[in-house]
Amino acid sequence: MPARTGRPPKISRSDIVAAAHRVIDEDGVDALTMRRLAKEVGSTPMALYHHVRDKEGLLLLLLDDYAHGEMPRPENLPEEPCDRIVAVAKAMRDGLANCPWIVEVLRSDDLLSVGGLWYPEKIVAAAEKAGLPIEAAVEVYRAVWHYTLGEISSRAAAARRRDQGGDTYRQRVFADLDTTEFPTLAQIGPRWETLTAQDSYERSIRALVNGLLP
């Protein structure tokens, strides 16, 4: 049979988004290149440029798609500023935790989704309503944001270690701590992994916000 000739099959933005998610799910965000994506959709890199100009544009497309389709936006938010900030922060954490690769993109670059600005808008407005000047209200959001990113990243890393099986290096260290040098931690010992795996996000973020609001 002769080789197929002519133009590659027409592709849509939804095709590109779906293929990009497949690549990331299989091999991580670093594996996402225009060449790899073109192969995934059965087209050419040149055909992709009709939809996205480069990898940065592709990541922006994915961020917007996720922000509008997957990120929760709770209705009927509490009126009290601290409760409102906690509710918005928890929704942001829950949405991002389902897609940890987005956290790495947001941490390492200046990319952001306009659709994702719903969260800082609500948090900054609530902090300002509590009586903070706008500059301090932005600081509240930054503190919430950085804590949230760190929490998601550490949990994702811990999950990867557990998936590999066997004892982790940290487990081995805590199982054999010097009781003279580290009496408190040695008492915790093997329970360290279990205790640090507990989901204390809401309680911790509430304490953080309470300390920042007037």
For helices 201-212 and 81-97, angle between their N-to-C axes, nearest 10 degrees: 140
Distance CA 46, CA 58 (A): 14
| CA dihedral of 70, 95, 103, 124, whole degrees rounded to 10 | 110
Question: Looking at the domain assignment, is residue 110 inside a domain?
Answer: yes
Question: Looking at the domain assignment, is residue 204 inside a domain?
Answer: yes
Backbone angles phi, psi at 90, to 5 degrees: -65, -40
- Kindly tell me the sign of the dihedral angle through the C-alpha atoms of 43, 48, 49, 50: positive
Question: Looking at the domain assignment, is residue 181 inside a domain?
Answer: yes
Burial class of residue 198 (count of CB atoms within 10 Å of its CB; 0-12, 13-18, 19+): exposed
Give the pTM. Answer: 0.81
CATH of the domain at 175: 1.10.357.10
Please give the tally of structural domains in the chain.
1
Domain with 120, as residue range(s), is 73-212
Question: Looking at the domain assignment, is residue 14 inside a domain?
Answer: no
User: 144: closest CA among 104, 197, 100, 85?
Assistant: 85
Question: Looking at the domain assignment, is residue 147 inside a domain?
Answer: yes
Question: pLDDT tens digits for the chain (214 residues)?
Answer: 444 445 555 788 888 888 988 898 888 888 888 889 988 888 888 888 888 888 888 888 888 888 888 899 999 999 999 999 999 999 999 999 888 788 878 876 667 788 889 999 999 999 999 999 999 999 999 999 999 999 998 887 777 777 777 677 888 888 889 999 999 999 998 888 888 888 999 999 999 999 999 9
Question: Looking at the domain assignment, is residue 104 inside a domain?
Answer: yes
Q: Is 28 helix (H, G, I), strand (E, B) or coil?
A: coil
